[in-house]
Structure formats: structure tokens, C-alpha cells
Amino acid sequence: MKDYYEILGVRRDASINDIKKAYRKLARKYHPDLNPGDKTAEQRFKEINEAHETLKDPEKKKQYDLYGSLGAHGPGPGAGGPGRGGDFEGFDFNSSGSSTFGDIFETIFGNMGEPRARSGRRAHTPEPGEDLHYSMNLSFMDAANGIETTIQVSHRQPCAACKGKGIDAASKQSTCPACGGRGRVQKQSGFMKFGSVCPSCGGSGVLPGAPCRACGGDGRVETTSRLRVRIPAGVDNDSKVRIAGKGNAGRDGGPAGDLIITTRVAAHKVFRRSGHDLEMILPVTYAEAALGAKIEIPTLEGSALFKVPPGTASGQRLRLKGKGIVHPKTRENGDLYVEIRIVPPPTKDLKVRELLKEIERVAPYDPREELRR
Ligand SMILES: [Zn+2]
Ligand SMILES: [Zn+2]
């Protein structure tokens, strides 16, 4: 004679509520879908159900408490004992007229969405693969000019062992025990009973054999691939580059997901980005600013001659049209803004100081005229 209280791990004076709680916890742990191929778990699951069937029902519980047997629970040697079918297939969930499985699934997986997610098994319909995200660090110049490079990604690809089907080829299809092959289960809600698609088999009524060992039934395995990818010119921080079809493979004929590369762009020692415009500071001498000069400056395409007009003040911004960064979509170029910064001449030499004062004497001017207006 089995001790139902012991099976559920509750005290003899436990409330129906506590019994149900203990049952749910154990059913969740030993559910056959979560323990595929584990005979011990299967046996435990049956015992748990049996104990619950009896103890959740005040009448049956009373009888069990009094006589330690279950007249109401059906025939068989030592009713409720080992006579109730040795294997999972033979275990009849429907004989008592209750919807044991429905209850369990409602309880355990009720808020998990699609039937396939509830049961751990999948209905074998085409399902697209997931998009994957990848972060890529780029030098400033590579981001500005674009680059073709090889990256290593880890994505789920069709499992070779089961040819992507997710099913162990050596195993056989079987009738779904949750619905007895009907594809629908009865659920009880208050006094109402209603049918719903069987969450265990997704309505097909059959379980498609044991899950493939290599991929755990997913039909795909984590694979590391080297991919040649092209990053277009002009990407910035947090730009997204979509590589079609290189995410996770789809399942059962579904399309593959995409690989989405997010770019991180390093700073540059000369250029600063402002959208697709570039900014740089150009240090010039006192004489270059005053007299004008042609100065070699760096650009994205190499060095170029830049004309500083005579009388250029420090802080003045000069624009070089089209020398910024190309927009990856419109293909239009931004501009390069050159900010002039006058660096004073070294004045350690007494002669230099004399000459500077001489200039002030010869051509006096008032740079602060504006301030007095
Ligand atoms: Zn079913
Ligand atoms: Zn497989």
C-alpha cells in the first residue's frame, strides 16, 4: 500500500490547497515531457498523479484516510498500486473522466504561449530562424571608408544527425498519451468543460518519436561559422548592418533569420564626426593666419592642400565641401569643417619680442573694438 501523503511530501493534516501545491511542484519536476526517456521520472509522475487524484477529492481522501484503499478509484490489484500499467503508454489519463493532463498543462505551462512552448515538443510546422546580434569594433577610417572582413559567428544551423528534423531516426512515432490521439483535451473551468488543442502534441495526436540526441529535438545545433561580411562606407556608432540569412537557421523549412551587426567606431586623433560631417582643428602660425597660406592637411582620401585666407582669425571655421563622410544610403558626402587655431610664436628670443612690438607700433589695431560698442 502506497502512502499518498509521503508521495506528495505533505503531512497527513495538509490542506487540499497544500496538497495541490505540492502536486504541481512535483508534476512539474517529473513530467515525462521534461524527462524524456527517464523511466524513474515516469513512474514517479504516475504515482504523483495517483496520489493527487485521491487526495484532492475530499470524498476519496476521507475513504483513503479511513481504509487506506480506494474503492472509488477503480479496480486492480491493490487499487492505486503497481497494477496501474507499467509503462507510460498504458497509463490511462482519461479513465477517471478528469482532465489530468489538461490541468497540469494549464498549471505548469498556462502562461507560456504557444502549445509547443508548453510541452517542450514542437508541432512540425515551418518556423523562421531567429535574428542574431553581433557587435563589431571598427577603426574610424574603416567606418568612414567601408571594409570587407571575416567574422566568426555562433549560430544554430541544421543538425546533421537528424537532418534538421529534431527526431531520433531510430525512434518510432507514438500516440500522444495526453490526448489519446484525439489532438484535443478537455479542460475544466469551474462547472464548465471545454475542449482545446492538445498542448502536448499540438493537435496532431501523435508524438513524432524521441528527440534527436545531437540537437535535443531543436533540429539545429550551435555552429561556429566564418563569414565574409561587407560593412558599407559611412557607418557610425550603433549603425546596424543586416546580413540576410546568416542568423539562426529556420526549422522545418522555415527561412533563416538575419545577422544584425551593430558597429562601434573608435575615435580619431584628428577628425571628429558630427553626423556625416567631419571636424578638425588646424593649428597655424601667427604669420600664416595674418598673411594667408596653403597648408597640407589630412583628409579621408589622403593629404590635400588647404588654403587659409589672409586675415583669418583663431576659431574661424572654414568648410571643405564634400570632404566629409559618405552617407551609406544616399551616397552623398558630408563636408569637412576646418577650425583655425593660431599658435603664438615662441618669444624666448629677445629679438622676436622686439619685432612683435615693432609690428604693433607700425600698424596699431584694436581687436577689442567690438567689446566697447
Ligand atoms: Zn496530444
Ligand atoms: Zn538533431
pLDDT at 67: 64
Which-ligand-closest: CA of 176? 1
C-alpha distance from residue 105 to each of 16, 38, 188 (Å): 20, 19, 12
Which-ligand-closest: CA of 220? 2
- Per-residue confidence at 202, pLDDT binned at 50, 70, 90? confident
Å from CA of 207 to ligand 1 middle: 8
Written as one string, the DSSP assignment of 306-352 is EEEPTTPPTT-EEEETT-SPBPTTT--B--EEEEEEEEPPP--SHHH
Digit-coded pLDDT (tens) for 176-192? 888 888 888 887 777 77
CA distance 235 to 275: 10
Å from CA of 215 to ligand 2 middle: 4
Give the single-character DSSP code of 370: G
Å from CA of 158 to ligand 2 middle: 8
Å from CA of 120 to ligand 2 middle: 15
Query: What's the chain's length in residues?
Result: 373
- CA pseudo-torsion sign 32, 93, 82, 3: positive
Å from CA of 168 to ligand 2 middle: 7
Å from CA of 221 to ligand 2 middle: 7
Domains recognised in the chain with CATH numbers: 4-91 (1.10.287.110), 132-161+216-265 (2.60.260.20), 272-372 (2.60.260.20)
For the chain, how big is the Rg over CA atoms in Å? Answer: 38
Å from CA of 183 to ligand 1 middle: 5
- Per-residue confidence at 61, pLDDT binned at 50, 70, 90? confident
pLDDT at 372: 87
Kindly state the average pLDDT of the residues 124-133: 88
- pLDDT surpassing 50 at residue 90: no
CA distance 233 to 243: 15
Å from CA of 211 to ligand 2 middle: 8
C-alpha distance from residue 339 to each of 84, 199, 301, 322, 346 (Å): 88, 68, 19, 16, 22
Other beta carbons within 10 angstroms of residue 180's beta carbon come to 16
CA distance 340 to 337: 10
Digit-coded pLDDT (tens) for 233-290? 999 999 999 999 999 999 888 999 999 999 999 999 999 999 999 999 999 999 999 9
Contact in structure between 101 and 110 (CB atoms under 8 Å): no
- CA pseudo-torsion sign 118, 124, 125, 126: positive
Say if pTM beats, i.e. exceeds, 0.75.
no
CA distance 200 to 32: 10
Other beta carbons within 10 angstroms of residue 227's beta carbon come to 15
- pLDDT surpassing 50 at residue 76: no
